[in-house]
Amino acid sequence: MTRLASTAGACAARIGRTLAGAGLVALLAACSTIEPPDITLADVRMPPAGGGLEQRIEADLRLVNPNDRPITIDGMVVDLTINDQRLSRGVSSQKVELGRLSDSKVTVPFLVNALSVLGGLVGILTGGGSIRDGLAYGIEGHAFVIVDGSRSQVPFKKSGQVSVTKQ
């Protein structure tokens, strides 16, 4: 009986140490949080129109990894607004590997109804504004981020002012 009790006690002690070790690992994992990537508007282009009522706009987004470990952006969904009016939603399935403390660009295509763009410009001009004053922009959406094999959907939202220059 004594030997059985001693074996059961040793087994319970091992289980306790294992659970304590697992708890410590979980605690350490929780402490090493990952900051979301910083996503900002870097450039906007309007390729030549192909006719019809749709206009293609390409927006370059700057992706910055502020973490001390690599992350992967595996696509994104982005809403683009100009002067507080939603212009379009764009999607990109481009996979971007961001090394630790690094950055990259991704191009997101948008299809815009040419009449809505015209209406927006008329609204700017009749509202007393001028394109020379610049345009307020906003990007909002979510990126599909992979870190250490775990995939999550990370929201982002940025706004600012862009100047419009003729070249």
CB 152, CB 99: distance < 8 Å: no
Q: Report in angstroms the alpha-carbon separations of 6 from 3, 18, 67, 146, 152.
A: 5, 18, 49, 47, 47
pLDDT at 28: 41
pLDDT at 12: 54
**Positions of the chain with pLDDT under 50:** 1-2, 4-5, 20, 22-31, 166-167
Owner of token pair 């410009």: 121
> Six-digit token pair at 130?
């001028």
For 60-106, write each residue's pLDDT tens digit.
Answer: 999 999 999 999 999 999 999 988 888 899 999 999 999 999 999 99
pLDDT at 26: 44
149: left (phi over 0), alpha (psi -120 to 50) or beta: left
How many of the other CB atoms lie within 10 Å of CB of 97?
13
pLDDT at 166: 47
pLDDT at 114: 72
CATH 3.40.50.620 given to domain 35-162: no
CA neighbours within 13 Å on the CB side: how many for 70? 7
pLDDT at 19: 53
> Six-digit token pair at 29?
């994992």
